[in-house]
Amino acid sequence: MVWGDGRGRTLGLWSGSAAWRRSGRWPSTVRGIRRRCDIPLFGPPNIEKLRQRGDVTALSKALTDRDGNVRKETAEGHRLRDGTTMRRLPLRLVGLALATFAALLVLVPASLAKRPPPLATCANPSTPTGCAEEDNVNIPLRSKTVRSFVIEATHPAYAVGTDSCEPDFTNCSPTGDPSYSFAPGVFKLFDDGETVLEAVRDPSWWRPTAMSVSVDAGSPVGEIHYIRVYRKIVGVDEWPQFFVLYADGNVRLAPQPPVGARSVCFGSSVIVGPAPVTSRPIAEIASVQYVSASKVLKINYKIGGSATFGLGQVNRTRARVPVTVNYPTKRAPFATFRSMFVADGNADVDHVTWRDASGTLRTEPLLAFSGGKGSEWFFFRRIRSQHNTSAPDIRITLRR
């Protein structure tokens, strides 16, 4: 019989000699193998034999074995299989075990806490405007490694008072966008008494094609320009709209209205998807599927890639949409914040607070913000606005 060490090396040859068998002695090579077998490659270590040999190193390892029974047998000195009591371990082994577990419980979480947050780089190519219906605020967020982020909408900190959601075309010029005709329609695709999802086809749209929308395993409805989602307020027979997704990738989000209000305005938006940086960035969507059991939207983009949006978190305080990124982000932003600023008091956003690469929170007026690396951005209004007064503030946070 050939004996090896498990690494492809031959340690000795045993022919089964009768002399060896009668003497009860094994060749030295084989004796070394038998000692090593007290800690087998598979199965629990032989604690009794380790203790008899006084193998402190091996017993110390046994104190941190994955098998709880092995740890208990080693530390308490009990044979768990047959109930035979053995002497206690030396105190130095118990001390070593406690030190080992302390390292596992304290040092490992501490090292995880020191992991740097994911970072993205943003720019601010926003331009001045005198038109309150022009999205002149354009802040793309870039990261080649982003896998998930959260969009959150909260009510403005100022007192809204008399609300105004009406458009204001003062100082506005025709956009010059192309216009394509469609057969208009509104299609209620889902209503379970809590959530309502409608698909809308406008009579005209600025792109020649649109997206298809389906719910669960249902047949898709084509040429849809946007979907809107309503959610019942807990304890109240009201279903305010809180989420809109357009075929060009724009997402509008709002919390449910505060007590005493019937609705809130939509204002700023976030383009989710690989939208190239242009004066009017888009990330065109091919198809959307709503999965009712999990309240999730599955998005497929025309240029390739996909995303999932979680629509389960909305109340009177905030609306929160986690986004999972499965689309290309090496050459295009993974998200683009879009909004409007004419002047303080006539804007959908006037300031930004962000957490920079060092973890420090910084705040600047919107048009003075120069961008840079960060992990979180909060776009808000410090001054009450006459335009879309109740429209929410928007936060974008990267997730690991």
My answer on whether 165 and 79 are in the same domain is no
- Stretch 294-303: mean pLDDT: 98
- pLDDT tier, 30 (very low <50, low <70, confident <90, very high otherwise): very low
Instruction: Judge contact between 397 and 376, C-beta under 8 A.
Output: yes
**Does the pLDDT at position 57 exceed 90?**
no
Place of tokens 């047998």: 73
**Does the pLDDT at position 12 exceed 80?**
no
My answer on whether 103 and 126 are in the same domain is no
- Residue 274 dihedral angles phi and psi, to the nearest 5°: -75, 80
Instruction: Judge contact between 357 and 373, C-beta under 8 A.
Output: yes
Percent of the chain with pLDDT over 70: 76
Residue that wins the pLDDT comparison between 102 and 388: 388
**Does the pLDDT at position 13 exceed 60?**
no
My answer on whether 251 and 305 are in the same domain is yes
My answer on whether 272 and 384 are in the same domain is yes
Distance CA 347, CA 364 (A): 15
My answer on whether 216 and 261 are in the same domain is yes
Amino acid 103: pLDDT: 55
- pLDDT tier, 65 (very low <50, low <70, confident <90, very high otherwise): confident
What Cα–Cα distance (Å) separates residue 294 from each residue in 28, 150, 219, 245, 313?
65, 17, 19, 18, 11
Nearest one of 271, 53, 51, 39 to 141, comparing CA atoms: 271
My answer on whether 80 and 136 are in the same domain is no
Distance CA 283, CA 299 (A): 11
- Residue 363 dihedral angles phi and psi, to the nearest 5°: -135, 135
- pLDDT tier, 224 (very low <50, low <70, confident <90, very high otherwise): very high
Amino acid 46: pLDDT: 80
Alpha carbon of residue 190 to chain centroid = 26
Ranked by mean pLDDT, the top range of 57-66, 76-85, 95-104, 227-236 is: 227-236
Structure tokens at 50: 């380790």
The last residue of a domain, from among 96, 113, 130:
113
Residue 373 is part of which domain span? 120-399
- Stretch 252-266: mean pLDDT: 96
Instruction: Judge contact between 164 and 388, C-beta under 8 A.
Output: yes
Q: What is the pLDDT of residues 123-136, one digit of tens each?
A: 999 999 999 999 99
Distance CA 11, CA 89 (A): 34
The last residue of a domain, from among 52, 83, 113:
113
Spatial neighbors of 43 by CB under 8 A, at least 6 apart, are none
- When divided into structural domains, the chain yields a total of 2
Give the other-Cβ count within 10 Å of 46's Cβ: 16
My answer on whether 153 and 287 are in the same domain is yes
My answer on whether 101 and 131 are in the same domain is no
Amino acid 305: pLDDT: 97
My answer on whether 42 and 169 are in the same domain is no
Amino acid 76: pLDDT: 59
Q: What is the pLDDT of residues 314-362, one digit of tens each?
A: 999 999 999 999 999 999 999 999 999 999 999 999 999 999 999 999 9
Q: What is the pLDDT of residues 128-187, one digit of tens each?
A: 999 999 999 999 999 999 999 999 999 999 999 999 999 999 999 988 889 999 999 999
My answer on whether 84 and 142 are in the same domain is no
My answer on whether 61 and 207 are in the same domain is no
**Does the pLDDT at position 380 exceed 90?**
yes
The last residue of a domain, from among 72, 95, 113:
113
Residue type, 75: A
Averaged pLDDT score across all residues of the chain: 84
Task: DSSP letter for 126, please.
Answer: -
- pLDDT tier, 72 (very low <50, low <70, confident <90, very high otherwise): low
Ranked by mean pLDDT, the top range of 31-35, 77-81, 385-389 is: 385-389
**Does the pLDDT at position 59 exceed 90?**
no
- Stretch 46-59: mean pLDDT: 73
My answer on whether 275 and 131 are in the same domain is yes
- Stretch 356-377: mean pLDDT: 95
Residue that wins the pLDDT comparison between 21 and 125: 125
